[in-house]
Structure 1
Amino acid sequence: MPELKLAKLPDRTPVKLAIIVTPDLHQMLQDYAALYAETYGREEPVAELVPAMLAAFLESDRSFVRARSPGK
């Protein structure tokens, strides 16, 4: 079998996750979505923004990134 430069793609099947948030957090998320729309001229539902927000948060947490890296 030939060896390709591109590795086999990882599983990209979405996983549905239901969460409960406080009214204050819900309002902050709504406010963020409004600011996002104002900034980028495109409305996105909170449910579409939250995964990107969580990924950005986790990727910016140096301790978490270090703990996940192989050979820590």
Structure 2
Amino acid sequence: MLKLPKLPDRVPVKITISLTPELNQALAEYAALYAETYGTQEPVSELIPAMLKSFLDSDRRFARPGRSDASR
């Protein structure tokens, strides 16, 4: 038996959302701050998945013991 488990499905799933103008502006400002902080410009569309994962990982009720990454 290998120590490394079978890798999970890594095929991206594309979704479409609608944003308020205010949220769109806030995301653009966040992307600018990210670029200023790290010296690398990333499109908002690349930052959103990381932001959502960070949010879900930090939500204590959602990230309860026993919940695996595979179930997200």
The question of a shared fold, defined as TM-score above 0.5 by the shorter chain, is answered with yes
- SS state of the match for residue 16, structure 2? coil
Q: What are the ranges of 5 or more consecutive residues in structure 2 without an aligned counterpart?
A: none
Q: Which structure would you say has the larger RCO, counting Cα contacts within 8 Å and 6 or more residues apart? A: 2
Q: What is the aligned partner in structure 2 of residue 39 from structure 1? A: 37
4+ runs of 1 displaced by more than 3 Å? none
Secondary structure of 1:63's counterpart equals: coil
Map of 1:60 onto structure 2: 58
Is the helix fraction higher in 1 or 2?
Answer: 1
Aligned residue pairs total 68
Larger Rg: 1
Equivalent residue number for residue 11 of structure 1: 9
TM-score of the superposed pair, with normalisation by structure 2: 0.89
